[in-house]
Structure 1
Amino acid sequence: MTTVTTASRIPIDGPVETPWKLPYRGTIGMACLIIAESAIFIIFVVAYIYYIGKSLSGPTPAQVLELPIFGTICLLSSSIFVHLAVSSLRKDNRRGCTLNLAITVLLGLIFLATTAREWYHLIHDEGLTIKTNLFGTTYYSLVGLHATHVVVGLIMLTLVLGFSLTGHVKEEHSEKLEVLSLYWHFVDAVWVVVFLVVYVLGR
């Protein structure tokens, strides 16, 4: 006697699960860097807040600081253009990527120029140096730390812009450009905190 077994095949409808993919290691590395840098900035911000109003001599923040509105607008706007650069590269729009990178670099340079102009005014006209009082020490330390990060970001963005102008940046490099854009977004976000602490609350 022979037994015949038939397997029933029931069609399963529904979305097919996509295989899980490891995150891009560049993104993970940049996330770790941002976390570490955030800890450093928190220390400097807390120190600045702690020493507000404790200077034994002038000048004070209210006497010499002015709101850097123009520079702030330029820096925060640059985040929009670096995002557009990444989006353009994902669509293989190399010309759009190059243009938006150039605008990002230009806006970053304008921000640095406004910071340099402010420092020149504070040092030569107001006599505020890093050794003048506690305000001068904490101000130049915090704002200078941020400016240093802006310079590093601009160097990297300028290098990418150079590669883009020579046709060496292609669609497959979009993930790498996105990693760099994360650093630039971080620099902009930190400036929002610095602006509020130094130029709004500190005055």
Structure 2
Amino acid sequence: MSSAAHHGPTDYYIPDSSPWPIVAMLSIFLMLSGTALTINAVGAGVWMVLAGFVLLMVMFYGWFSVVIKENLADRYNEQVDSSFRQGMFWFIASEVFFFLSFFGALYYIRDIALPWLGGEGYLGVTHEILYKQFEAMWPSAGPGQLGGEFKPMGAWGIPALNTLILLTSGATVTWAHWGLKEHNQKKLVRGLAATIALGLIFVGMQAYEYYHAYGELNLTLKSGVYGSTFYMLTGFHGFHVTMGTVMLMVILVRAMKSHFSPHNHFAFEAVAWYWHFVDVVWLGLFVFVYWL
């Protein structure tokens, strides 16, 4: 069923039938199956992962192109806009709980499991049974210095500089939002370009940090529970910054094409919400992973 005309505020736009959900399913199936085959050393697995990734990119481009065209054709009303906002809200909420699970794991390891293994608490008896020489000190590589000795990543230097970079990027994307509300195209474009540049600098600095950690600190994924939690938290955050930067690039192109107006710019707001979420998560990482 199609509803091309723009109706009243209580009507809901019903799009035409779309092949993109099926394409999304096929791309995910290829990537998951390919990953499983790659883990089991089956040669075709890598190609399946690549094919799935390419198909995923085609799906993103095609599906979002349709949504953009529908929006520019004025097919969306306030009710549809409200649905988009609710969807983005719940997506970010799911991301919040995703990171909370890793922060929770870090808390459990540091403040509960580690003291038990060191002989404290009502489960302190495990200290005598498992490893008498184990000392409950953080950061820990586990009993016997699994993975070899390492140096923990300090809070100052690159982590502190990256914190300043992300906080500044939050200010520049807000500046761009002000420009959009003021119908100031130059401020909008410059603010987005500055935010993208800061995001790329952040990712580059984090890549150098990983190089330094592996090469000079011997801090790897094999460095016990400290190494695994460090790379799990910072790595997923770096992935989110990368995806956020790609989304900002798309929004910049759309802004340069004058797709947004002071009263119709949900796509910009959605990406701005996501970027601010990434900023807040990093503040938690800086405090609980680097500093404490």
Q: For residue 113 of structure 1, report the CA deviation from its aligned partner.
A: 1.4
For residue 119 of structure 1, what is the amino acid of its counterpart?
Y
- What is the CA deviation profile of residues 91-116 of structure 1, one whole-angstrom value per residue up to 9, with x for unaligned ones? 22111100000000111111111111
Q: For residue 60 of structure 1, report the CA deviation from its aligned partner.
A: 4.7
For residue 141 of structure 2, what is the amino acid of its counterpart?
S
For residue 24 of structure 1, what is the amino acid of its counterpart?
S
1:34 is matched with 92
Identity value in percent? 33
1:55 maps onto 2:125 in alignment:
no
* 1:169 equivalent among 247, 252, 259: 259
Contact 2:141 2:224 in 1 (8 A): yes
* 1:145 equivalent among 236, 241, 244: 236
Take 1:66 and 1:115, find their aligned partners in 2: how far apart are those partners?
13
For residue 186 of structure 1, what is the amino acid of its counterpart?
F
Structure with larger RCO (C-alpha < 8 A, sep 6+): 1
For residue 85 of structure 2, what is the amino acid of its counterpart?
T
- What is the CA deviation profile of residues 127-158 of structure 1, one whole-angstrom value per residue up to 9, with x for unaligned ones? 21112221111100010011111011001001
TM-score (norm 2): 0.58
Structure having the higher Rg: 1
Q: For residue 169 of structure 1, report the CA deviation from its aligned partner.
A: 2.8
2:176 is matched with 85
Contact 1:94 1:170 in 2 (8 A): no
* Dislocated runs of 4+, deviation >4 Å: 19-23
Take 1:121 and 1:86, find their aligned partners in 2: how far apart are those partners?
36
2:203 is matched with 112
TM-score (norm 1): 0.81
1:190 maps onto 2:190 in alignment:
no
1:65 is matched with 154
Take 1:155 and 1:27, find their aligned partners in 2: how far apart are those partners?
20
Contact 1:86 1:97 in 2 (8 A): yes
Take 1:46 and 1:55, find their aligned partners in 2: how far apart are those partners?
19
* 1:130 equivalent among 195, 212, 221: 221
